[in-house]
Amino acid sequence: MSTLIYCANSIAATPYYIDEVSLNVYSLEELSYYMLNNVYLLSSKLMNAELCNWIGRELKMQKLSNELLTMVQNNSPLHIFVGHILSANGYASNKEIRDALSIIATFENKSEAERKKLRADRLMSKGKLVDAIYEYETLLSDEIAKTMPRIVEGDVYHNLGCAFAKLFFFEEACRCFDEGYKRNQKKQTLYQLLYSARCAKDKISFEEYVSKYQVPRTDVEEVLQVVSRATVKDDIVGFDSSINDMLYGESSEESKETIRNVIDNWKKDYIKLCRI
């Protein structure tokens, strides 16, 4: 285990099972941990009499149980219900509670598809690309994807393509951007498609996409210039020069050190991006 949770309240003999994530929780602190770390997974399904009764029966917190049951019966907002649970124990700080409730309040009236997209987008913004890819692919393969507007589905494909491109999976990125552009018709998605094809060094696919979407020559030139500028940055040029020294000339310690530093940084960045 990488995390220990100190439980000041009672531990349940029989756990409460959270069906959405196939998880058993044995204490109010564990329930709080789940809610804080899975904010975008929370839905009104959490507000049910079974959970309230479990808190009273297993955790011996009858007053809290009665208060939560009243909220369920009154159809209170989800963020009020969650806030009441989080405030009933010392697991979360006031700031953590405020931040979580603020997020819940922004999506509790949104559809399931919109909530899942928000969660995936948040994972992307935090650099958790593998998790984000899983969330986007799950969303697109789910029945709820059929309820999304076509342009929103295109945006999901766009973001999935960005995640793949950041991991250098340019062929997968091209597939996603292609599907995305078919749906959202956004210029930025088209550009990302061409960038990915160019970075994959697939000239045939690049020209096919240009022809398929009748991309104006001025736009094509702009894409080529952006990719070209990206390849002449000082660190890339220095790395390329060091590689050439090793291949065709005398390899100095300075060249070896440059190569080692660049590769080490790449490895650190890639491991960070791939972490789950």
Q: Is residue 170 part of a domain?
A: yes
29 with 99, same domain: the answer is yes
pLDDT in tens, 146-164: 788 899 999 999 999 999 9
pLDDT of residue 72: 95
Is pLDDT at 240 greater than 70 in this prediction?
Answer: no
Q: Is residue 95 part of a domain?
A: yes
Q: Is residue 7 part of a domain?
A: no
59 with 93, same domain: the answer is yes
Q: How many CB atoms lie within 10 A of CB 33?
A: 16
pLDDT of residue 144: 76
222 with 266, same domain: the answer is no
Angle between helices 28-37 and 94-107 (to 10 degrees): 60
Confidence of residue 256 (pLDDT cuts 50, 70, 90): low
pLDDT of residue 43: 81
119 with 164, same domain: the answer is yes
| Maximum average pLDDT range among 60-64, 104-108, 228-232 | 60-64
Partners of 166 in beta bridges: none
Separation CA 108–CA 83 (nearest Å)? 13
Contact status, residue 215 vs residue 193, Cβ threshold 8 Å: no
Q: Indicate the number of domains in the chain.
A: 3
Q: Is residue 198 part of a domain?
A: yes
22 with 48, same domain: the answer is yes
Q: Is residue 141 part of a domain?
A: yes
Is pLDDT at 25 greater than 60 in this prediction?
Answer: yes
Dig out the tokens for 33 from the structure: 């941990």
pLDDT in tens, 170-223: 999 999 999 999 999 999 999 999 999 999 988 999 999 999 999 999 999 999
pLDDT of residue 232: 61
pLDDT of residue 170: 95
49 with 144, same domain: the answer is no
Beta-sheet pairing, 16-18 with 23-25: antiparallel
DSSP annotation of 24 reads: E
Asked which of 107, 131, 152 is the last residue of a domain, the reply is 107
Q: Is residue 3 part of a domain?
A: no
Q: Is residue 9 part of a domain?
A: no
pLDDT in tens, 81-118: 999 999 998 888 899 999 999 988 888 777 778 878 88
Residue, of 7 and 217, whose pLDDT is higher: 217
Task: Give the CA-trace dihedral at 135, 138, 143, 144, to 10 degrees.
Answer: 0
Residue 125: which CATH number? 1.25.40.10
The residues near 270 (Cβ < 8 Å, ≥ 6 apart) are 167
Average pLDDT, the chain: 85
DSSP annotation of 251 reads: -
116 with 222, same domain: the answer is yes
140 with 217, same domain: the answer is yes
33 with 76, same domain: the answer is yes
191 with 260, same domain: the answer is no
250 with 199, same domain: the answer is no
Asked which of 214, 230, 246 is the last residue of a domain, the reply is 230
Confidence of residue 63 (pLDDT cuts 50, 70, 90): very high
pLDDT of residue 143: 81
Separation CA 55–CA 65 (nearest Å)? 6
For residue 193, with 0-12 CB atoms within 10 Å meaning exposed, 13-18 middle and 19 or more buried, which class applies?
Answer: buried
Asked which of 61, 76, 107 is the last residue of a domain, the reply is 107
Separation CA 191–CA 104 (nearest Å)? 34
What is the extent of the structural domain holding 151? 112-230
Confidence of residue 47 (pLDDT cuts 50, 70, 90): very high
226 with 238, same domain: the answer is no
Residue, of 4 and 268, whose pLDDT is higher: 268
Exposure class string for 54-77: b at 16+ Cβ within 10 A, else e: bbbebbebeebbebbbebbeeeeb
pLDDT of residue 2: 47
Q: Is residue 22 part of a domain?
A: yes
